[in-house]
Amino acid sequence: MENQMRLIIELQGIDGQIRELQAEIDREPDRLKELRDDMEAKQELLHETVGELKAIKAESKDLELSIEDLRSRLKESNARLTKVKTEREAKALHKEIADTDAMIKEREARVVELKESIEGLAQKEKDTTGAVGQDKKEVGKEKKRLDKERKHYDKLFSQLAKQREKLASKLDPELRTRYDFLLTRRDGVAVATVKEGVCLQCYMNIPPQMFIMLQRAMKVETCPNCGRLIYWIGHE
Ligand SMILES: [Zn+2]
């Protein structure tokens, strides 16, 4: 029986390693996902910037065309000014000229404003494009690293699985079933150490009689509280 408990302790050691390895493997894709999410957010920003830039450029072009129209209208009005006959006509024409002039100035000011926005957005587009490119590289690198690491983990995994099988095959079948059951039901920890009469997994006291027995011999005993297979720390 003593031998069986030793086997179980050893088996738990290997299962602990397998568990840690699994946690590490599970964590891996999260890093890639983070990088990808980051990249996608920047791509979205780039998309928005390009759209905004296009709209502003179109507005600016429309304004420039309308300014050209207004200028030719101004020219015509000025030409007509030389041919007016009455004071009233002249007054009306002067007003029209002044209004058109004001409209041109207003639109020109808006074009200047838009030009600044276009410059800002073009810079943003350039910067974001660069950042997206950088992110793409990072994602590619991370994928490669992940593949390499995955291969390494797979190798480790199969080594541990072999070791595990070798040990488990030496266990009494009934004990093995109990161990495997506990492993899945007790968060990957089927075995607990007992120190000063306390189970170090659930922190409950072991009955004194059982504790004495545990100290005397390395028998397979069960914690009355958490059900794990227990052994005295002095037998480690
Ligand atoms: Zn316990």
pLDDT digits (tens, 9 = 90+) for 186-199: 999 999 999 999 99
What are the pLDDT digits (tens) for 94-139? Answer: 999 999 999 999 999 999 999 999 999 999 999 999 999 999 999 9
C-alpha–C-alpha distance, residues 77 and 87, integer Å: 15
Q: How far is the CA of 209 from the centre of ligand 1 (A)?
A: 16
Q: How far is the CA of 203 from the centre of ligand 1 (A)?
A: 6
Q: How far is the CA of 186 from the centre of ligand 1 (A)?
A: 10
Q: How far is the CA of 213 from the centre of ligand 1 (A)?
A: 16
Give the closest residue to 58 by CA, choosing from 129, 114, 107, 121. 114
pLDDT value at residue 63 = 97
Structural domains of the chain, with CATH: 2-170 (1.10.287.1490), 175-235 (no CATH)
In degrees and rounded to multiples of 5, residue 231 shows phi and psi of -145, 155
Average pLDDT, the chain: 94
Q: How far is the CA of 201 from the centre of ligand 1 (A)?
A: 5
Pairing outcome for strands 221-222 and 229-232: antiparallel
Q: How far is the CA of 12 from the centre of ligand 1 (A)?
A: 15
As a whole number, mean pLDDT of residues 160-173 equals: 94
Q: How far is the CA of 212 from the centre of ligand 1 (A)?
A: 16
pLDDT value at residue 224 = 96
pLDDT at 2 over 90: no
As a whole number, mean pLDDT of residues 36-43 equals: 96
List the single range of 31-35, 43-47, 194-198 with lowest mean pLDDT.
31-35
C-alpha–C-alpha distance, residues 225 and 218, integer Å: 19
Q: How far is the CA of 25 from the centre of ligand 1 (A)?
A: 29
As a whole number, mean pLDDT of residues 30-44 equals: 94
